[in-house]
Structure 1
């Protein structure tokens, strides 16, 4: 026991030393004004290589995990105050409640449409790959089926009860709803007594500027956090985890990539009418951070910077859609993944499915993606709802438990990017997209801020 403890301590020092060297190298690149996106991509690659080496050589990566946790906690610190001030600020900047209603309807419609398309793509790819063939019906011992919340419970979970308590417990959806009520009330009162609202509005605007600056400080740490998070993931799971369920992983990522190209690329090209290659290049920080952190909430500050500074969407549109999307836009978790898992489970348990079941998969995926917004672990809940609706054994979800973390990186990247796309599409329809600035070839303002 003592020898094992000493070995763990010594190997942890090795991983810490390696981390310090890599972080120092990334800092050196930042001082040399290497682009933010390039440093994030390099950090991802270095973390992956280091993590695989740690896994192969049995080196304890606790110190690397600690660095990643510190970064995630710092970003989580921003989420609640950002949601409050940005949502209220964006609503009060929209003088007409009718305009606000129109933006909200457009946003929710695009969230549902893109999730439905994601489910269709996931369904088609899963049928083509047939990922359940040859998989043994063994359920991991650690699997515990998730309880499906009733409709009334879902509604109650979404509603704010004590705003202070909701903020303390990081319940984003209730805080979001509370902020919307406050913003609407400010617009209503301000239309009759603008002098009463003036001081509160000025405070919100000032506080929003302060929080933007705090976000910039923390976003600068992103390359280091990305290295630590991806390094921890690779060190924990290694390549061996992927092998037994490689077809499920492959089917999921192919579907996610197709959704990127077909759905997101199509909306950007034909609806927003901008160059999709330029869009994805500008949106890269959002994709990279979402991929490594596996959290739309944690990605929110970066996404806001990307949408406003790189995509040139007006702050009031971005400040309304981005927080909403971080809780309700689930193209990956609520669209692609439930469809792939449903086909997988049906194949494993030899349960026949037809066109009616396929249609049900798409419809239930769309509805459940919005309905479980306030529930932790939305991918598991959405998938459980779909399996139950189809009459498939929910124990089948346990078969893919081992690869959940691996596919969750791609799922979250799609979720966050979907919010970015919807922000651009809605802003374009409302005349709040600066196309001229977007098309400039000069260095993005965010690159300058992050340097």
Structure 2
């Protein structure tokens, strides 16, 4: 059985087991609550997510360095970066326009009554100026320790361009990083072997905690966001992929299954970078020089799922607190603000909620209402992370195809990059060598 099939099966099993625990109220028993849900499930899930996060900084730094040096010409990097930023901003803009328009037409939040004693201490989000000035790190080691992705990306690119101009010394450094990159890829493959069991534990814990009542109280908001996320992932991205690249959307969606399952389980674009990068390079045929730039960059600035949540949440809270909801001018302001906020959102669980407060403050809406949204945000966070990484892969394919840095033979091969197939190929090669 392939890894993708295993992940999907264990994902469904985790959702079923977690739901059964919740519906049958098994968590009232101390041993289920302490030793199963918050014991076994949490330990397995946390260890796996930590293992993924452990790889993020070295993987992004090394792969981006190798990708930049593979381009050889700074002009190629400028063309690649420009197209990537344009496509990411385009998809985010489309997501926000659809979200605000649909939420307003449906009147999401109208008649909703929030308790008057809500208290939500939101963390301080970064301003646009802080995001821009943080691109150049004062201390690259400190940036790596704090997983500041834009700073890591900048330092990796500058170091790679310097290596290209350093002659023989630079070539030796490039060779070292190329070998290091191969080792990192093997480590990714090794950790992926335990992914199905970790996904099962993560989802079983989440669904055991959620409960139906939490969703019922905010049904309009919850199902509007969920429907828009699914629509964006299954309709908008395939259309954009077809229009800009001519590639088959069905093939794309089939090859996204494993990465989507990872993202859904971890709720972190950053933690999913190793899997997303492997998906575009080995499953879809994108050259590593392109994927190693667009995927880490997308995990930092491409937050379409987060933008959808922020757009609907703002309309929801505005309809609950303001007579008549938002005006057209205010809707335009929400779209601009949410675009900036989604770009500044970190690729970690529930980061979008932190950035949402900036949008609410700008619109003069109370941030206390965020505590209501937080009560059901976990499941939506998982879904929008899956949408975010789907967008990363779609844009990567579009950019790679436009620059002739993609193998369509690999893209249309249903077995390309499959973990089981890779292992069989290695076994055959070893036998032949012996």
Per the normalisation by structure 2, the TM-score is: 0.90
Q: Secondary structure at the match of 1:304?
A: helix
User: Which piece of structure 1 moves more, 412-421 or 345-354?
Assistant: 345-354
8 Å contact from structure 1 (residues 116, 365) kept in 2:
no
Q: Quick one: which of 146, 151, 162 aligns to 1:185?
A: 162
Cα pair distance change 1:170/1:441, threshold 3 Å: closer
Query: Offset of 1:133 from its aligned partner?
Result: 2.9
> What is the match of residue 13 of structure 2?
46
Q: Residues 277-328 of structure 1, C-alpha deviation per residue, up to 9 Å, x if partnerless?
A: 1110011111111111100011111111110111111111001111111111
User: Which piece of structure 1 moves more, 229-238 or 434-443?
Assistant: 434-443
> What is the match of residue 143 of structure 1?
120
Task: Indicate whether 1:114 and 2:91 are aligned.
Answer: yes
Query: Offset of 1:112 from its aligned partner?
Result: 0.8
CA RMSD in angstroms, aligned pairs only: 2.1
> What is the match of residue 92 of structure 1?
69
How many equivalent pairs are there? 413
Cα pair distance change 1:399/1:442, threshold 3 Å: closer
Q: Residues 92-141 of structure 1, C-alpha deviation per residue, up to 9 Å, x if partnerless?
A: 00111011011011111111110111111211221243331342212675
Q: Distance in 2 between matches of 1:406 and 1:140?
A: 25
Q: Distance in 2 between matches of 1:110 and 1:122?
A: 18
Q: Residues 69-101 of structure 1, C-alpha deviation per residue, up to 9 Å, x if partnerless?
A: 011111111111101100100000011101101
Q: Quick one: which of 69, 75, 87 aligns to 2:52?
A: 75
User: Which piece of structure 1 moves more, 238-247 or 287-296?
Assistant: 238-247
The 5 A counterparts of 1:294-373 are 294-333=267-306, 335-351=307-323, 352-373=325-346
Query: Offset of 1:348 from its aligned partner?
Result: 0.7
Q: Distance in 1 between matches of 2:422 and 2:281?
A: 13
Query: Offset of 1:235 from its aligned partner?
Result: 1.5
User: Which piece of structure 1 moves more, 439-448 or 244-253?
Assistant: 439-448
Query: Offset of 1:46 from its aligned partner?
Result: 0.8
Cα pair distance change 1:450/1:384, threshold 3 Å: farther
Q: Distance in 2 between matches of 1:340 and 1:155?
A: 26
> What is the match of residue 357 of structure 2?
384
Cα pair distance change 1:103/1:252, threshold 3 Å: same
Q: Distance in 1 between matches of 2:423 and 2:366?
A: 48
Structure 1: which 5+ residue stretches go unaligned?
1-33
Cα pair distance change 1:423/1:404, threshold 3 Å: same
Cα pair distance change 1:139/1:316, threshold 3 Å: farther
User: Which piece of structure 1 moves more, 414-423 or 135-144?
Assistant: 135-144
Cα pair distance change 1:154/1:420, threshold 3 Å: same
Q: Residues 340-376 of structure 1, C-alpha deviation per residue, up to 9 Å, x if partnerless?
A: 0011001110343221122222222222222445999
Cα pair distance change 1:276/1:151, threshold 3 Å: closer
User: Which piece of structure 1 moves more, 81-90 or 166-175?
Assistant: 166-175
Query: Offset of 1:446 from its aligned partner?
Result: 4.0
The 5 A counterparts of 1:179-218 are 179-187=156-164, 189-190=165-166, 193=167, 195-218=168-191
The 5 A counterparts of 1:366-445 are 366-373=339-346, 378-442=351-415, 444-445=417-418
8 Å contact from structure 2 (residues 11, 203) kept in 1:
yes
Q: Residues 140-186 of structure 1, C-alpha deviation per residue, up to 9 Å, x if partnerless?
A: 75621333434443334443222222223333332222112111222
Cα pair distance change 1:272/1:151, threshold 3 Å: closer
Q: Quick one: which of 106, 112, 125 aligns to 1:129?
A: 106
8 Å contact from structure 2 (residues 2, 418) kept in 1:
no
> What is the match of residue 155 of structure 1?
132
> What is the match of residue 13 of structure 1?
none
Structure 2: which 5+ residue stretches go unaligned?
425-434
8 Å contact from structure 2 (residues 267, 348) kept in 1:
no
Q: Distance in 1 between matches of 2:349 and 2:43?
A: 23
> What is the match of residue 57 of structure 1?
26
